[in-house]
Amino acid sequence: MKVWAVANQKGGVGKTTTSIALAGLLAEAGKRVVVIDLDPHGSMTSYFGHDPDTLEHSCFDLFQHQGSVPQGLAQQLLHGTSHDNISLLPSSTALATLERQSPGQSGLGLVIAKSLAQLWGSFDHAIIDSPPLLGVLMVNALAASQQLVIPVQTEFLAVKGLERMISTLAMINRSRKQSLPYVIVPTLFDRRTQASMSTLKILRSTHPDHLWQAYIPIDTRLRDASRAGLTPSQFDANSRGVIAYRALLKHLLTQQPASQVA
């Protein structure tokens, strides 16, 4: 199973959209995909029609066993989505109570890695939608992954958020056997705005090695897809956004993943 995390400590940059768009494209290619919603806001969970405020069981349950995960628990927590090939490990608002705990002290840093180990034979691909805060959940997302996708909104304040994410990654890499490869993805790009153009230029000059050379454009069809609860490619397979995500997926699949998890 390939495990990717989608993370950035800034909200509204396209993390959830990117997670679902990639999952949808993989699912259409016949891959069995599990998506994990580790954001206490539960946007991905809501996207697929489940209410994070009322769900009785969620990823939160995985964290209730002193760092070990009872056999079969991850499987029991899976929910359906709009696509037969995509299963969801949902978020719930209870996850917020874990957010600020220190993973070192609580011993909870590898809960998601252990949970995914239980799903290894059932899925080809896992995509983790990460929370915007550095805490137990972010540490779990990065520790469980072989590759990190960092969506960065092409606007002026975005570059600062990216630097914060990269220093978080450096910190987490110190406790990994192999550092986590990452790809920076410019999102919400609007070629008519000065902010988009100059942010892209800055990213290209400051992060040439890790930047995906294309971008995800602003595309209202992506918003419409989320309103319909469908993956972007189910909603409109030929929209500009989906075409861009298809190119991104191709790029990500050519990257060398970290061979060892945590």
Ligand X SMILES: Nc1ncnc2c1ncn2[C@@H]1O[C@H](COP(=O)(O)OP(=O)(O)O)[C@@H](O)[C@H]1O
Chain residues that interact with Mg ion, rule: CB under 5 A = 15-16, 43
* Closer of 43 and 81 to Mg ion (Cβ): 43
Q: Does 13 contact ligand X by CB under 6 A?
A: yes
Regarding 191 and contact with ligand X (CB under 6 A), the answer is: no
Determine the angle formed by the axes of helices 136-144 and 111-119, rounding to 10 degrees.
40
Phi, psi of 174 (to 5 degrees): -65, -25
User: At its nearest, how many Å lie between ligand X and the CB of residue 38?
Assistant: 11
Residue 48 neighbours by CB distance under 10 Å: 22
Residue with smaller CB distance to ligand X, 164 or 223: 223
Report how far residue 77's alpha carbon sits from residue 247's, in angstroms, rounded to the nearest whole number: 32
Binding mask 219-248 for ligand X (x = CB under 6 A): xx-xx--x--------------x-------
What's the min distance (Å) between Cβ of 141 and ligand X? 13
What, of Mg ion, ligand X, none, does residue 241 touch, CB below 5 to 8 Å by kind? ligand X
> Binding string, 115-154, against ligand X, x = CB under 6 A?
----------------------------------------
Whether the CB-CB separation of 110 and 262 falls below 8 Å is answered with: yes
Interaction between residue 17 and ligand X (CB under 6 A): yes
**Dihedral sign of CA atoms 224, 79, 242, 8 in order:** positive
Q: Hey, what are 164's tokens?
A: 């914060």
Measured from the CB of residue 13, what is the shortest distance to ligand X in angstroms? 4
**Is the CB of 10 or the CB of 114 nearer to ligand X?**
10
* Residue 246 near residue 21, CB atoms below 8 Å: no
- DSSP-H helix ranges across 120-193: 136-144, 158-173
Q: Shortest gap between Cβ of 14 and ligand X (angstroms)? A: 4
Tokens encoding 172: 């987490």
- Rounded CA-CA distance 97/94 in Å is 6
Binding region for ligand X (CB under 6 A): 11-17, 43, 187-188, 216, 218-220, 222-223, 226, 241
